[in-house]
């Protein structure tokens, strides 16, 4: 009887433990969902409010008119967001193109070839990834100023292309999973090293390319500090800088800012809906090694 009662007590304790675990699981799920969704909800509510509504109501109070698109029109026109989207799009295309090409080629050399100093170069890249980017901006700005690259979009693109160490390690990881027999077979058939890279290895790096484009693309699209520092002309401002049109020492117009934020989210949301399969596959492949 004592053994039976102990078994029953153990089952009851196990059920209580399962209930506590289930409660904590759903509680944390709801908590973190609220933390993620409440700021977005407040942004959407504020974007449809007039200035008077925003000043007199709570941030969680719904707007009186959900068809009030005047804030969106004002934000788009006054912040010159069309020019911001154009500049950001140009920078994004060239930065992704050059970053993917340079990072993959560099990773190919470091992974497939052994030469004096290859280990040192690999370690220097690792060391550079540990240095905060803000710590090098004084020197970088002096170099950019000396070369006459300030207030030029191609100078801004050059700076962004030169700070992509994470992509190098992403490609290095994927090259570790590609057998060297592919290179050797192609070279025996008369293929050059450039042919091996562009015709054989690069098409196999699609998951790495998707992962790198995702990380680098989000970084470039959201980048504010360097675009505000190196692109000082109003015609060259990016979309992130355009959102700061409605901020100033005499107050911030948050209803216009929130409308602008929603406008900037729409292109990324559309791209994600079209390419979500590639994004998920690239992230899953990038998380697994071997």
Residue 288: pLDDT band with limits 50, 70, 90? very low
Q: Residue 79 pLDDT more than 90? A: no
- The pLDDT value recorded for residue 115 is 78
Higher local confidence (pLDDT), 130 or 153: 153
Please state, for a pLDDT cut of 90, what percent of the chain lies above it: 4
**For residues 143-170, average pLDDT:** 85
User: In terms of Cα–Cα distance, which of 165, 177, 184, 185 is closest to 207?
Assistant: 177
Residue 135: which region, alpha, beta or left (left: phi > 0; alpha: psi -120 to 50)?
alpha
Q: How many other CB atoms are found less than 10 A from the CB of residue 261?
A: 17
Model confidence at 229, pLDDT cuts 50, 70, 90, reads confident
Can you list the pairs that 209-213 forms with residues at least 24 positions away whose Cβ atoms lie under 8 Å? Answer: 209/100, 209/104, 209/282, 210/278, 210/279, 210/281, 210/282, 210/283, 211/170, 211/282, 211/283, 211/285, 211/286, 212/99, 212/100, 212/103, 212/166, 212/167, 212/170, 212/171, 213/96, 213/100
**219: nearest Cα among 96, 37, 86:** 96
Question: What's the token pair of residue 157?
Answer: 């693109």
**Residue that wins the pLDDT comparison between 5 and 232:** 232
More reliable by pLDDT, 26 or 246:
26
Q: Compute the mean pLDDT over every residue in the chain, rounded to the nearest whole number.
A: 81
Residue 131 has pLDDT above 90, yes or no: no
For the whole model, what pTM was predicted?
0.78
Phi-psi region of 190 (alpha: psi -120 to 50; beta: other; left: phi over 0): left
As a whole number of angstroms, the distance between CA 167 and CA 143 comes to 24
**DSSP assignment string, 132-197:** -GGGGHHHHHHHHHHTT-TT-HHHHHHHHHTT-HHHHHHHHHHHHTS-THHHHHHHHTT--HHHII
pLDDT band at 91 (very low <50, low <70, confident <90, very high): very high
The C-alpha angle 203, 208, 211, rounded to 5 degrees, equals 135
> For the residues 62-88, what does the mean pLDDT come to?
88
Asked whether the predicted pLDDT for residue 287 surpasses 50, the reply is: no
pLDDT in tens, 3-54: 466 555 656 656 776 778 788 888 888 988 888 888 888 888 888 888 888 8
**pLDDT recorded at residue 8:** 56
| Residue 94's pLDDT band (cuts 50, 70, 90) | very high
CB 239 within 8 A of CB 264: yes
**pLDDT band at residue 179 using 50, 70 and 90 as cut-offs:** confident
Percent of the chain with pLDDT over 70: 88
Q: CA-to-CA distance for 192 and 114, rounded, in angstroms?
A: 17
């Amino acid at each position: 009887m004592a053994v039976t009662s102990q078994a029953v007590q153990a089952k009851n304790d196990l059920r209580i433990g399962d209930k506590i675990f289930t409660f904590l699981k759903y509680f944390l799920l709801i908590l973190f969902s609220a933390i993620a969704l409440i700021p977005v909800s407040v942004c959407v509510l504020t974007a449809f409010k007039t200035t008077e509504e925003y000043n007199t109501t709570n941030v969680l109070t719904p707007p009186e008119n959900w068809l009030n698109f005047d804030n969106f029109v004002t934000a788009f026109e006054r912040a010159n967001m069309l020019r911001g989207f154009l500049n950001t799009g140009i920078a994004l295309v060239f930065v992704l193109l050059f970053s993917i090409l340079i990072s993959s080629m560099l990773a190919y050399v470091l992974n497939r070839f052994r030469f004096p100093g290859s280990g040192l170069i690999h370690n220097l890249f690792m060391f550079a990834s540990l240095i905060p980017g803000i710590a090098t901006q004084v020197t970088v700005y002096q170099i950019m100023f000396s070369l006459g690259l300030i207030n030029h979009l191609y100078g801004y693109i050059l700076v962004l292309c030169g700070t992509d160490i994470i992509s190098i390690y992403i490609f290095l990881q994927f090259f570790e999973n590609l057998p060297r027999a592919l290179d050797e077979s192609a070279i025996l058939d008369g293929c050059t090293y450039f042919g091996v890279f562009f015709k054989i290895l690069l098409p196999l790096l699609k998951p790495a390319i998707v992962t790198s484009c995702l990380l680098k693309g989000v970084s470039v699209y959201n980048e504010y500090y360097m675009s505000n520092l190196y692109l000082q002309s109003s015609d060259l401002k990016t979309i992130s800088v355009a959102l700061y049109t409605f901020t100033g020492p005499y107050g911030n117009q948050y209803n216009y800012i929130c409308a602008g934020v929603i406008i900037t989210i729409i292109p990324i949301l559309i791209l994600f809906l079209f390419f979500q399969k590639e994004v998920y596959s690239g992230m899953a492949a990038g998380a697994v090694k071997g």
